């Protein structure tokens, strides 16, 4: 493990107002999103969509790192350029999703465990040789009735910590993603209580596995009421609950927190991230940024719909969301009467 390299990469991933772009959907998930828009679910269109994303002009001014899927890191653009080269040429650090997805956890009805530790050491070495500099592993936590159970939390946290230690051994920065799902009717308070509990177990396990906190990124959920909860707090209240929770459990040595979007509407995700950076400006020990998939990709996918003629228009939509989220990381995202205030054309200024 090269401590300086890990620390530098982790810091760079969250610096300059930038954030991460998750484009690591597995093929079934990618196909689900395509099917909803009647886009044919073919390898050619998967590649075309990922090429559209990574070749978006100026994307690197907002996005520090892109999380790729195994198929993509081995793939090439239509002109033969390897995806990894296209990513680095765009000024974006290539990352890789390394978990193997979730399965039912034995003995725990309704709960999932993330798989993929077997053979991980060798896979990480291969990805590092291909040019990946960071990795992602996602654990999903269900918040319903008496769940999550301690058995599930400990199993997921242990796997996250084993993964993180293996990543650092291979010179990759681990993005540690414990996601409390938004599905359900739970309140903001219940989400805060469970998120705090989850993160305590995760950091205990990270410590047990001797993970270097300075060389990792935490990718948590925001603290939110469930999708079916009648009471939906405003962005400022979400920001308050989320940051209060994180301040209690995330050590200051961690350089950055990069939220997943979890299915939030894209503008709301930006507004909530912005509220955290406005309200707590100068008072946070870590950078607070984004690592969104749907909240960056979805409007562009809606615009593209698999049509070659729509590539340029979709890239503009994608860049717009990336800029909005960069603005939110800087606490400069603005809305008026529920509508986004257009960003200045110099939205690309260096931080």
Active site residues: 177, 219
CB-wise, 76 or 98, nearer to ligand 13P? 98
**Does residue 233 bind ligand 13P (CB under 6 A)?**
no
**What's the DSSP call for residue 80?**
S
Site string for ligand 13P, 253-282 (x = CB under 6 A): -------xxx--------------------
Q: Decide: residue 260, CB within 10 A, 0-12 exposed, 13-18 middle, 19+ buried.
A: buried
Question: What residues pair up with 94 in beta bridges, in sequence order?
Answer: 66
> Which SS3 state, helix, strand or coil, does residue 275 take?
helix
CB-wise, 280 or 292, nearer to ligand 13P? 292
Rounded alpha-carbon distances, angstroms, from residue 294 to 24, 132, 146, 213, 228: 11, 22, 29, 27, 19
Q: How far is the CB of 172 from ligand 13P (least distance, A)?
A: 16
Size of the site for ligand 13P (CB under 6 A): 10
Among 22, 48, 63, 212, contact with ligand 13P (rule: CB under 6 A) = 22
Tokens of 176: 């540690």
Which residue is listed with tokens 């978006």? Answer: 56
Name the maximum alpha-carbon separation found in the chain. Answer: 55
Site string for ligand 13P, 119-148 (x = CB under 6 A): -------------------x----------
Among 112, 294, 320, 326, contact with ligand 13P (rule: CB under 6 A) = 294
Among 213, 246, 295, 322, contact with ligand 13P (rule: CB under 6 A) = 295
92: left (phi over 0), alpha (psi -120 to 50) or beta: beta
Q: How far apart are CA 331 and CA 98, in angstroms?
A: 32
CB-wise, 31 or 76, nearer to ligand 13P? 31
**Does residue 177 bind ligand 13P (CB under 6 A)?**
yes
Q: How far is the CB of 273 from ligand 13P (least distance, A)?
A: 12
Q: How far apart are CA 191 and CA 195, in angstroms?
A: 6
Residues forming the site for ligand 13P (CB under 6 A): 22, 138, 177, 260-262, 292-295
């Amino acid at each position: 493990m090269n401590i300086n390299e890990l620390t530098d990469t982790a810091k760079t991933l969250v610096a300059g107002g930038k954030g991460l772009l998750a484009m690591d959907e597995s093929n079934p998930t990618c196909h689900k999103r395509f099917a909803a828009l009647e886009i044919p679910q073919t390898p050619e269109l998967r590649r075309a969509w990922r090429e559209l994303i990574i070749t978006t002009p100026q994307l690197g001014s907002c996005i520090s790192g892109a999380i790729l899927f195994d198929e993509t890191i081995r793939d090439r653009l239509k002109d033969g350029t390897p995806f990894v080269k296209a990513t680095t040429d765009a000024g974006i650090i290539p990352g890789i999703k390394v978990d193997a997805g979730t399965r039912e956890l034995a003995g725990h009805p309704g709960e999932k465990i993330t798989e993929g530790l077997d053979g991980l050491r060798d896979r990480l070495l291969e990805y590092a040789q291909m040019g990946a500099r960071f990795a992602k592993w996602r654990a999903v936590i269900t918040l319903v009735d008496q769940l999550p159970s301690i058995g599930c939390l400990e199993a997921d946290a242990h796997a996250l910590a084993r993964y993180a230690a293996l990543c650092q051994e291979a010179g990759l920065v681990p993005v540690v993603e414990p996601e409390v799902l938004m599905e359900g009717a739970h309140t903001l308070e219940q989400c805060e209580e469970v998120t705090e509990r989850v993160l305590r177990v995760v950091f205990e396990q990270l410590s047990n596995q001797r993970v270097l906190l300075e060389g990792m990124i935490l990718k948590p959920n925001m603290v939110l009421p469930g999708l079916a909860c009648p009471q939906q707090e405003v962005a400022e209240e979400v920001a308050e609950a989320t940051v209060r929770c994180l301040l209690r459990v995330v050590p200051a040595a961690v350089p950055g927190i990069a939220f997943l979007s979890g299915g939030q509407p894209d503008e709301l995700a930006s507004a909530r991230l912005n509220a955290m950076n406005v309200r707590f400006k100068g008072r946070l020990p870590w950078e607070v940024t984004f690592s969104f998939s749907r909240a960056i990709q979805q409007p562009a996918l809606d615009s593209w719909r698999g049509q070659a003629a729509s590539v340029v228009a979709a890239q503009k939509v994608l860049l717009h969301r990336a800029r909005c989220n960069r603005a939110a990381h800087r606490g400069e995202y603005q809305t008026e009467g529920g509508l986004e205030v257009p960003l200045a054309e110099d939205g690309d200024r260096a931080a």
